[in-house]
Amino acid sequence: MGFDDEVAPLRLEIDRLNREITEKLAERVDIALRIGSIKAKYNLPVIDEAREAKIYEQVQRLAEQYKLDVEGLRRVFKEIIRLSVEAEEEQR
Is the pLDDT reported for residue 1 higher than 90?
Answer: no
Q: What is the tens place of the pLDDT at every residue in 48-78?
A: 999 999 999 999 999 999 999 999 999 999 9
Whole-prediction pTM: 0.91
Domain map (residue ranges) of the chain: 3-91
> What's the per-residue H, E or C state across the chain?
CCHHHHHHHHHHHHHHHHHHHHHHHHHHHHHHHHHHHHHHHCCCCCCCHHHHHHHHHHHHHHHHHCCCCHHHHHHHHHHHHHHHHHHHHHHC
Is the pLDDT reported for residue 27 higher than 90?
Answer: yes
Question: What is residue 2's predicted lDDT score, i.e. its pLDDT?
Answer: 96
Question: What is residue 76's predicted lDDT score, i.e. its pLDDT?
Answer: 98
Question: What is residue 54's predicted lDDT score, i.e. its pLDDT?
Answer: 98
Phi, psi of 69 (to 5 degrees): -65, 120
Written out in words, the top-level CATH class of the domain with range 3-91 is mainly alpha
